[in-house]
Amino acid sequence: MKRIAPPQENRQALAGSRTVAAHAARLAACILAFLDLPARGLSQTNAPAPAAATPAPAPAPAPSALAAAVKTWADAVTVKGDVRYRYEEIKDDAKLNPKLDPYTRQRDRIRARLGAEAKCTDNLKAGIEISTGQSDPVSGNQSLGDGSGKKDFRLNLAYFDYSLFGDSANEVHAVAGKMKNPFIAQPDDLVWDPDLTPEGLALKGQLGGRFVTLYGNAGYLWVQEREVWDDLVLYGGQTAVRIQFIPEIALTLGASYYDYVNLQGWDVIDWESKNNAYGNATVDGTVSGSTTNRAWAAAFTPAVGFAQLDLWLGKIPLALFAQELRNAKPSWYNEGHLYGVTVGKARNPRTWEVGYSFAELQRDATVRMFTDSDRWGGGTDGKGHKFYAKYQIVKNFQLGVTYFRDEKKLSDPGNEKDYERLQVDLLASF
């Protein structure tokens, strides 16, 4: 079909309308340019017109994506530490001072710790900590009064912690390095000093819900590496159950077993190099020049049972705890007993806490070098009472007072010696 051209008059009318439209557009552009207004909107701009159309802006990132974009390595690292100033007075009838009078000592001491823990991945953390102190495994204290000499810092923690199940409440952690104690310890403890940081490998597990929680811990800990001789290692296992009867009442029951391998008959380990067994029975060991070293006479496989009842009296927390210990290898002086109570919790500003415990640790109940370093001067072969009080002055600043009244040298009947120790602490943490 042929296309029919429009009549001549229609073509002229159409051309005229296009001409009018073009003139109107030019006129509008001139008016807008004179008024200095953009063709769209009323925002003033002095920028030259782009040569090509500007593409639409990309949508703004979601808040979570924006937060992830601005994170740095510092966001994955937690830094914490504390500084403690202590006044201490000791009276020990088992010693004589240089004047041959009963031993009494007053001293001021400090302890400072600084640590960092980094989240390497969702399941892996790594941490380090330095502390004042020397090579004593159970104390970071440094005495003042040596002519203002510089104080030593030592590596106190260096570990990684891998969580097998991420952030699940049912968890298993594999820990390696110089670590925090992997075993459950009570407010006062027969086996462990709270400052001890053992070395080796450990597994820590937790399984349960709101009513019952099960715990399982195991350790393969290096105590002494002996080059060509058999190493001294500690194998430890622990299990416990916590029953939450109601929100205000919970009971924890547990048992631990420790086995020190290649210890009996070997020279004692004394960080002060004074050939001191700190309470454990000894026999003659190796000979170094004119010195006959002391060696452990007994083997050590202590088994520990423990219990703790936590409850609330109105708004005040109360804890009752107990431990019973027995070392099966020696047939005498092989037991330990501990009973205690704590009332209150010094955590928030103007809160308080008080406590009392009685402990007895016979000569060969456990290895002496890891036990409480304050109770009867540290080690085993003692018994006595501990009283303490804490007051949280403000956030992160606490006052504490502790008093020990003990007897030592229990394995020498009729020759027991009195021991007293008073400590006043100011503790700032961050």
pLDDT score of 6: 45
368 contacts 380 by C-beta, under 8 angstroms: yes
The reply to whether the predicted model has a pTM over 0.85 is no
> What are the tokens at 311?
């409850």
**The amino acid at 378:** G
pLDDT score of 102: 84
pLDDT score of 97: 81
pLDDT score of 59: 56
Q: How far is CA 351 from the centre of its chain?
A: 22
CA distance 286 to 195: 30
pLDDT score of 362: 97
If you ran DSSP here, which 8-state letter would residue 2 be given? P
- Per the DSSP assignment, residues forming a β-bridge with 407 are 383, 418
Reduced 3-state DSSP string for 216-270: EEEEEEEEECCCCCCCEEEEEEEEEEEEEEECCEEEEEEEEEEEEECCCCCECCC
The per-residue pLDDT string of the chain (430 residues; one tens digit each, 9 = 90 and over) reads: 444 444 444 444 334 444 444 444 454 444 344 334 333 333 333 333 444 444 555 555 555 544 454 578 888 999 999 999 999 999 999 988 888 888 999 999 999 999 999 999 999 999 999 999 999 999 999 999 999 999 999 999 999 999 998 777 689 999 999 999 999 999 899 999 999 999 999 999 999 878 999 999 999 999 999 988 999 999 999 999 999 999 999 999 999 999 999 999 999 999 888 888 889 999 999 998 888 999 999 999 999 999 999 999 999 999 999 999 999 989 899 999 999 999 999 999 999 999 999 999 999 999 999 999 999 999 999 999 999 999 999 999 999 999 999 999 999 999 999 999 999 999 999 9
pLDDT score of 54: 45
Return the ∠ at Cα 206 (arms to 257 and 155), rounded to 5°.
Answer: 70
Euclidean distance between the first and the last CA atom of the chain, given in angstroms as a whole number: 94
> What are the tokens at 272?
């002060």
